[in-house]
A and B are shown apart, each in its own frame.
Chain A
């Protein structure tokens, strides 16, 4: 701070401080604080706001635990509140999406970083990046076209005899969330690919060769040399893909069906359809809490810190 004053004088330092304070207070801290405060207020008609009924309660949070339905998970059946069920399904399927993107992109990241001819790499990266430049809304829409009942995927699969008749992909085949997961993997793959690619690229190729010369089979080289080195990249990719998937609204709305609700859709219903902003705030807070827990869990498991993830 002293240093800043000496270099740039009082006026410029004040500008820096004011701009940063405006950002962190007016755009980050206070809005989240308002959300916390609102989440404890009841939903009232405009005339009664500030009146005797406008007192703090846990009412909005209790809605999360209301309306129990039958739930079956991995063969077990039990009672669970509907919104809680959607919440856990969102977490579960986002985790699967994260795992699948990792499995798809890891070999590719390794290939791009260590195997491919460096001269073709720029063109290859350019090709891979094309879908990233196309808006998220359109990436999901592309899969909507492919997966529709009379769409090209069904036509091809029926045509070559794999399927007898067209399948409603959006209703789901294995789980009701199939189409959503397909869309999420396609949409957020890049956020896994590039952190891992960057991490593997910084590994000295000599280390891989040394492992091979000493007789290590390929899988052990990956397990003992490359994967540990790529750990920060994998952590970063997992956080990004999980958060983006769980927080996505476009993909579930476009590719889901009424049987496959995403937690962001529940929040959206409270906010925009029921116009009950306070309950919306409570649900958003629960969602934010989930994200914080997830980030800390990943930091713990992978033993990395925040600056590694936010690259």
Chain B
């Protein structure tokens, strides 16, 4: 009886994979079609000119550079903030902890548009209140960074907090008793334990920032990031250069995840071999 059920399940899985991957294949295929509109149908012949167009598109390169800079800035801010917040909340308990925790995770659930608009209004009003026209207070990508940090720091906080649960506080006591300074205790005992979570947090912050659209759209002023670039291209007459960009991005992520997976599997295999040897 289970056999028939399993066949149905496998079939469903295959259909689901087709549903997931076929749209990407179609989008990628359109990048090679010699047709002014991005489509795989009708097929007008093989071409690489959309890739050349993309390479020559200066606006795309600026958007690309902006995206990377914003993502780096977001990671640089969100990681220390998230880590500090996790350490702080881990050391308190009771009602204060619960409400502080609620306040910290709320931005994850808040809609991106609301985060973007509130960030824009706050810094703008702040500038007007102090009577300054300093660049910080006007719309621009720096506000996108601040807006993105407000919810991305929460991801880092959750990761570090989870890691802190497995931390043996006795180690810190021992270090302090043996005469280590506070800074040494932090650097030599606590941080090494947290590194896996901190690195994972940095990676998540970087990729979340690249993905972000809603916050950026309302705070960016006139600057572009890649998602905004794609968005404005789709609105104002599309050419298959977007598809060329998609193909490149898909390939980059595929190579990245495959390398990661292979490295992980090798490591696991090595560990398994070591365990066997020690038996």
Contact = CB atoms under 8 A, between A and B. Distances in A.
B109 A128 contact: no
B41 A141 contact: no
B24 A134 contact: yes
Contacts of B17: 127-128
A152 B38 CA distance: 11
Nearest to A310: B105
Nearest to A30: B122
B84 A20 contact: yes
A19 interface: yes
B16 interface: yes
A264 B113 contact: yes
Contacts of B242: 138, 141
Contacts of B121: 31, 34-35, 38, 277, 281
B76 interface: no
Contact of B91 (A3, A9, A34): A3
Interface residues of B, number: 92
Interface residues on A, range: 35 or more
A288 B85 contact: no
B32 interface: no
A99 interface: no
Contacts of A4: 87-88, 91
Interface string A135-178: 11111011111101011100100000000000000000000000
A287 B118 CA distance: 13
A249 B227 CA distance: 12
A172 B119 CA distance: 35
A228 interface: no
A76 interface: no
Most buried by B among A27, A34, A148: A27
Interface stretch (B49-57, B193-201, B210-218): B210-218
B141 interface: no
Contacts of B250: 130, 133-134
A227 interface: no
5 contacts: A23-B104, A23-B150, A23-B153, A135-B210, A253-B231
